[in-house]
Amino acid sequence: MDLALQHNNSVEKQPLKLDRSSWLWALGFLFSMSLMGLNFPFGYIFVFLILVNRYINNRYDFIIQITLLCGRYSLIGEEDFPVKFEDVALLISILGLFIYRKPPMLKKITIAMMLYFVALVLIASTSDESMAVQFRRMRNYMMMIYLFIPLLVFSGQKFEIHELFKKLFAYTLIICAFYALDGFILNGYVLIPNSFSGEGHEPSTFYSIHWRELPRKYPPGLYLMALCLIPLARHYKLNWKHWLLVIAALAAARTLSIILGLLLAYGIFQGHIKQMAKYAVIATISLIVLYHVDAATGSFLRIQSTFDQFTSLEAAQDDEDMSEFGSGRFAQIFPKYEVLYDLEREWLGFGFLHPELTQDPKFLIYNELYVDKTNSWEVVTGIEIAPLQTIADIGYIGLVIQLLFYGWLYYIVRRLRYSTWFLSVLVVNFLFGLGGFAGFNQNDGLLLCALTLGAVLLANKNNPIYLGTENKPKI
């Protein structure tokens, strides 16, 4: 256990307290994003005005808000703007890379990123797909450069990381309230308009809101919980009302991979063996109880159906049986990996193929394992399990390079205060990726990793270790 972790564990946790203004600004922005997601014109105006106000008056709010805007997180959709905010952020981040003054540690991080990006381009250059098409998806892998956005926003400004922690709780709890209200009170897609999945309809708009009894809410809005794990484990306590919102939101999402990812990471980063063991026992007992409750209610919570898939996997006789595992995710894998090996591209991948723009016949397949045959013709990309998609894109070599890159980022900052917070978000992002969400190849996951790393660097901007001026022992 490093010294920073020991210091953080020695501080008694405090009840979460925020003034009314913090709650109201967070609520105003998130509600404005909901209006924007519903294509209500005033939503766009409100979001713009709030961003301007917060940049001037409170940059902690601003950096959270701009991250939510870039990642969308089911509040807004890709088609709600003529340009993608994440592309604008990418361009500004590239500019920041050149103009931001870099202490020695940030130089190391920048060099690591540049080497990673060069590796991506070199591997992609071996593909038969054009680079113009490949870059449309390759840029998702590069979103870690977003760490320059918080650095630029707070350039010359005082930064207190606990102010950011408390703000993150406000936004996370309000999003949880939106999920709970949409899922159990409004019964539709109103406050989280783009949280549909497999529902067979377009996103809600203010003139055509979609309703569904006890709908399952797609979980990207809850990714923000990942940023609250270390503050919750080390610094702050929630009251029963806060916990009720969290539980209700997770119940509305009904996504076991997200729930287990959060629980596992929370247990790992508790820092105490006894506490980890206690939470493991509580989680195991809770899952057993919930499994039987879920079985009695027709698998409403999707716990029974998830665990039963493992039983069916054990009894699988062929690829068609196995393809049903993981809510059909394995059906995405087998035919595409068969082509991957047939083309002898397993080490370098297909390249960053695009599901609409890639036209080369050798990258097109008819997937007989899909239940819905209308979607059977497809490009050999689009695998929800993040590491397997990475292999399809850049092969086993690329996956190793990717994991080494993120491991190296943590190694560089490991001695900084709050570096464990960055590590925890990396771990949660990886765990989410195993379940088909976020991961190291999607904007919404990498934006949170980059925000966290940027905040850790800001919290240590006067630290001799960060500045490279610490006293070195004499030999």
Q: What integer pLDDT is reported at residue 3 of this predicted model?
A: 39
In the predicted structure, residue 306 carries a pLDDT above the cut 80: no
Sequence length of the chain is: 475
d(CA 206, CA 210): 10
Q: What's the alpha-carbon Rg for the chain, to the nearest Å?
A: 22
Least confident of 210-224, 339-353, 380-394, 449-463: 210-224
State mean pLDDT over 61-80. 95
State mean pLDDT over 187-203. 81
d(CA 65, CA 46): 12
The three-state secondary structure class of 211 is strand
* Residue 129 pLDDT grade (very low, low, confident, very high; cuts 50, 70, 90): very high
Q: What integer pLDDT is reported at residue 8 of this predicted model?
A: 43
Q: What is the pLDDT of residues 86-100, one digit of tens each?
A: 999 999 999 999 999
**Number of neighbouring beta carbons within 10 Å of residue 371:** 10
Q: What integer pLDDT is reported at residue 81 of this predicted model?
A: 86
d(CA 63, CA 149): 8
148 vs 303, residue with greater confidence: 148
Q: What integer pLDDT is reported at residue 7 of this predicted model?
A: 43
State mean pLDDT over 112-117. 98
Q: What integer pLDDT is reported at residue 197 of this predicted model?
A: 66
Burial grade of 442 (CB within 10 A; 0-12, 13-18, 19 or more): buried
In the predicted structure, residue 328 carries a pLDDT above the cut 60: no
Residue type, 248: A
Instruction: Name 232's Cβ contacts closer than 8 Å, sequence gap at least 6.
Output: 238, 266
In the predicted structure, residue 298 carries a pLDDT above the cut 80: no
Q: Which one, of 244, 185, 239, lies nearest residue 217 by Cα? A: 185
How many helices, marked H, and strands, marked E, lie in the chain?
Answer: 20, 4
> In the chain, helix, strand, coil percent, each to 5?
65, 5, 30
The three-state secondary structure class of 236 is strand
* Residue 48 pLDDT grade (very low, low, confident, very high; cuts 50, 70, 90): very high
Q: What integer pLDDT is reported at residue 319 of this predicted model?
A: 52
d(CA 63, CA 75): 17
When the pLDDT of each residue in the chain is averaged and rounded to a whole number, the result is: 88
131 vs 320, residue with greater confidence: 131
Adjacent-strand bridge partners of 377: 366
* Residue 450 pLDDT grade (very low, low, confident, very high; cuts 50, 70, 90): very high
The alpha carbon dihedral of 337, 342, 347, 351 has a sign of: negative
For β-strands 377-379 and 364-366, DSSP reports them as antiparallel
Q: What is the pLDDT of residues 263-291, one digit of tens each?
A: 999 988 876 656 666 666 666 676 676 55
Q: Phi first, then psi: what are they for 423, rounded to 5°?
A: -60, -40
Q: Phi first, then psi: what are they for 187, rounded to 5°?
A: 55, 55
Q: How many CA atoms does the CB half-sphere of 137 hold within 13 Å?
A: 23
State mean pLDDT over 12-24. 93
In the predicted structure, residue 62 carries a pLDDT above the cut 50: yes
Q: What integer pLDDT is reported at residue 285 of this predicted model?
A: 75
What is the token pair recorded at 138? Answer: 């390759």
d(CA 312, CA 322): 8
Q: What integer pLDDT is reported at residue 247 of this predicted model?
A: 95
State mean pLDDT over 184-200. 85
Q: What integer pLDDT is reported at residue 323 of this predicted model?
A: 47
Cα angle: 40, vertex 44, 47; to 5 degrees: 125
**Number of neighbouring beta carbons within 10 Å of residue 73:** 25
d(CA 43, CA 51): 12
Q: What integer pLDDT is reported at residue 79 of this predicted model?
A: 86
d(CA 81, CA 88): 12
* Residue 243 pLDDT grade (very low, low, confident, very high; cuts 50, 70, 90): very high
Q: What is the pLDDT of residues 135-164, one digit of tens each?
A: 999 999 999 999 999 999 999 999 999 999
In the predicted structure, residue 312 carries a pLDDT above the cut 90: no
d(CA 447, CA 268): 23
102 within 8 A of 50, measured Cβ to Cβ: no
In the predicted structure, residue 447 carries a pLDDT above the cut 80: yes
Q: Phi first, then psi: what are they for 170, rounded to 5°?
A: -60, -50
State mean pLDDT over 361-369. 88
Q: What integer pLDDT is reported at residue 211 of this predicted model?
A: 87
Task: For residue 161, give Cα distances in angstroms to 150, 164, 339, 441.
Answer: 12, 5, 48, 27
Q: What is the pLDDT of residues 386-432, one digit of tens each?
A: 999 999 999 999 999 999 999 999 999 999 999 999 999 999 999 99
What is the token pair recorded at 80? Answer: 């709600």
d(CA 237, CA 27): 21
Q: Which one, of 396, 30, 64, lies nearest residue 179 by Cα? A: 30
Helices (H), 38-144: 41-57, 59-71, 85-99, 104-124, 131-141
In the predicted structure, residue 462 carries a pLDDT above the cut 50: yes
d(CA 55, CA 52): 5
